[in-house]
Structure 1
């Protein structure tokens, strides 16, 4: 092992006292990139600025780069209502929240919630990027993980095509929550309060559960998919065996492509196992675009105007090549398998950006504090990737890379302040998946904001930490005891990821 610098010895000492997670991080120090500057190994790009999340994997071959460009075009272009002069991009709706993938993931980055004391819908100006998941109590659909509302389904859509009513509006208010650090410094968090109004199809079913979800940044998603499932399960075993409150659990979810149950790793509650499933589901739920795995529109029996709306996807029958959404079948998807595959490939091959200022003494101090506060118990820094679950939809460039995403991909009880009260497969109403931290310091460059957490309620890294509770309460309390200089160092470290 190469000799440590004094700063790296500080990090190593912190890891030795950090308990859960220290040993394998120290092992990574024997690798050529001990501080994780190359966040994605050979896939890493050195990028900052507005396009930092939009580059292909650095080691992607020429055919892969061609596929990347094709997928990018379908990711960013708007879909239009049917019938259209070209059927290549028609079939939007009948209900939707965005007209393109990039409508929520602007520049492949993170969404921003609308301004406080504002409303969403019908089809608000600018990017929405915030959706409302819906479900009701009762036995869930085993392949959906929830029991949808019988009138509005499993997602609230605030926009509709011509002749179709938007499902309603989302009103957002805020409630201030005050606190202070041990050194007397005061802080205020803003808790969002949501209300669904102007309902187009009558009332919700009794006991409606609502969960807001913001669109995350996408760079590195293919590498997350290539983390071996055994490593996620190992995280759960290690935490179960270790002392302390951190006891993460994997979610187990149905994957519509694999046609089997798998460990979840995408979504704020780890309710999706693969990028293929996530992408087809977003086309279906967010834009109303059907595919071979989601052949029917999301209209419920109560939504008569939705059922009567035209279906896109090319000639089916009738003089205009259009059939009502209620009669659409799997043989007429609005996005064909090849095009869907290109979009999946594009997202899988978006490269993570390299860390910045990795040898800055304050950054190294923050890294040691990150370990001392037990943040690494959930935000596991490093893995080595295997091959993704669907090689035809991804790339061999993703395989065998030492990556530094800072996540265990497990569900954790985060306490009552973050609870949405809504189960999702095995996730309960207080659990959330540990989100990857890589790229977090570039969100402001790419998207012009610093809103974090599942609904964007936290304005920056420190506020995100202060929202932690439940299993992370002890870690938060350590941060509350830090002086201003140490708090700044901790934030500075996280912002280099």
Structure 2
């Protein structure tokens, strides 16, 4: 008999319980799913149960992305490879999608008709400009004039009498917000000639020492100032959230994790009393006109890779596309010159869009198939000891080690793969230290989605830095851990009190991912 969840009675019951109040959220219209059999569900349960044996690596653990895993390259292109199990035809599609991802857009009108339509207000001229080498963005280095791959989301609280779209009103805890009336949902710091940038983002840091067992660490505390607003004062209730572009690997596999398996880990009322209250974000699907489980973005604000890609085209580059067809990108009705500017839609056979369906599909395919590199040193003694510390300290309460993806009819690269992302894909309260105080769908101002950890040890090699967290404030993995608060406070305090050798082993494990 086919089932769609894991098949284990407890997990099935938990999964059903956590969907209460989320009508329709278990639907997955973006995937062509072949339901699991009872036998397959039992196998899945067996291979995804966290280990208690730390004398050797788990079987298949070296292949973080299952059969899609690629060899770990020693250069900056480690995150830019196609899924290892991709077909020859799929690899060609991947390369064409890469061309779209790297394309530098220009203003309209232009002789390069396939590349015009930039702006008028924008944060970058290409996807690659933010996701450097398909890895993480970063804040300015000393001497750099402007921010790199960082921008501010912005919004205002919706009024009390605001009517949510049908389908969202029934979602428990949905926090309605509206775009900032003048500046929209995102602040653009670049513009075409004749248009003023929306802001200049100023960032300053203050050092804060943290005492450790056997040493001391220093955290840099950021202050963000949206300076020189180009279109007048901000709304008095405007909320701002700094965002760094995250790494791109493994997105198609994360999208293929069964919704029921993610919901099975949710414990919004902390019924088990472990202090961890992971909650699913429920967000609106522009493509399917329905609420869906949020998976992508730093607060899980987007349900699919396609919507995440379409939103970035519109908000980051000012490019119209099938999901966000406005040729002016994120410009509001108050920005009259931006709305009336010439765009790149005056081209036949492009659906009157700057990126048509074919182009968006190519970028989506590319983004789904950026491969996860194989782990390194999985059997090294310090890595195994660090893994044991990671598990015993309770880190896996949020950083769930393993899943098996759906069996899919038309996505062989992502179909029925045992993967090790180390994320539960849920929202967690990370305390006031990391709070942006800006809600997003069901995410509060202190909640963030647990980021996947696969590939994190290759950050310096790919991106040339080791800046982590949603705004890149942490300069190392240890600093990132020390910023944890809220639900992760106990785990953070355990790391502070560890013997230095244990902390070193923990970092060695993380760097092996």
Alignment-derived partner of residue 305 in structure 1:
337
Contact 1:116 1:172 in 2 (8 A): no
C-alpha RMSD over aligned residues: 2.4
Q: Partners of 2:358 and 2:347 in 1: how far apart?
A: 18
Contact 2:402 2:419 in 1 (8 A): yes
Q: Partners of 1:38 and 1:28 in 2: how far apart?
A: 18
Alignment-derived partner of residue 355 in structure 1:
375
Larger deviation: 287-296 or 302-311?
Answer: 302-311
Alignment-derived partner of residue 293 in structure 2:
263
Alignment-derived partner of residue 37 in structure 1:
62
The 5-angstrom pairing of residues 117-266 of structure 1 reads 120=146, 128-139=148-159, 146-183=177-214, 185-237=215-267, 240-266=270-296
> Does 2:328 align with 1:288?
no
Alignment-derived partner of residue 80 in structure 1:
106
Alignment-derived partner of residue 72 in structure 2:
47
After TM superposition, the score normalised by the length of structure 2 is: 0.84
Shift of 1:63: 1.2
Report how many aligned residue pairs link the two structures. Answer: 453
Q: Deviation per CA, 1:50-71, whole angstroms, max 9, x where unpaired? A: 1110110000011111110110
Q: Deviation per CA, 1:405-444, whole angstroms, max 9, x where unpaired? A: 0000010000010011000000001101100000000011
> Does 2:117 align with 1:91?
yes
Shift of 1:314: 3.3
Structure 2 unaligned blocks of 5 or more: 1-45, 169-174
Q: Partners of 2:153 and 2:462 in 1: how far apart?
A: 26
After TM superposition, the score normalised by the length of structure 1 is: 0.87
Contact 2:57 2:379 in 1 (8 A): no
**Deviation above 6 Å: which 4+ runs of structure 1?**
none
Q: Partners of 2:67 and 2:47 in 1: how far apart?
A: 24
Shift of 1:301: 2.2
- Per the alignment, do residues 163 and 378 of structure 1 end up closer, same or farther by CA in structure 2, a change over 3 Å counting? same
Alignment-derived partner of residue 70 in structure 1:
96
Q: Partners of 2:407 and 2:309 in 1: how far apart?
A: 19
SS at match of 2:205: strand
Alignment-derived partner of residue 376 in structure 1:
396
Q: Partners of 2:143 and 2:234 in 1: how far apart?
A: 23
- Per the alignment, do residues 293 and 99 of structure 1 end up closer, same or farther by CA in structure 2, a change over 3 Å counting? same
> Does 2:490 align with 1:490?
no
Q: Deviation per CA, 1:114-148, whole angstroms, max 9, x where unpaired? A: 1369763xxx7xxx211100011224765895311
Q: Deviation per CA, 1:47-106, whole angstroms, max 9, x where unpaired? A: 222111011000001111111011000101101111111321110001100000000011
Q: Partners of 1:238 and 1:439 in 2: how far apart?
A: 29
Q: Deviation per CA, 1:189-232, whole angstroms, max 9, x where unpaired? A: 00110001111110000121100110011111111111110111
Q: Partners of 1:77 and 1:253 in 2: how far apart?
A: 29
Larger deviation: 129-138 or 304-313?
Answer: 304-313
Alignment-derived partner of residue 487 in structure 2:
471
Choose from 335, 339, 345 the match for 2:355. Answer: 335
Contact 1:119 1:170 in 2 (8 A): no
> Does 2:366 align with 1:346?
yes
SS at match of 1:417: helix
Structure 1 unaligned blocks of 5 or more: 1-20, 322-329
Shift of 1:299: 1.9
> Does 2:308 align with 1:278?
yes
Q: Partners of 1:415 and 1:365 in 2: how far apart?
A: 28
Shift of 1:313: 2.7
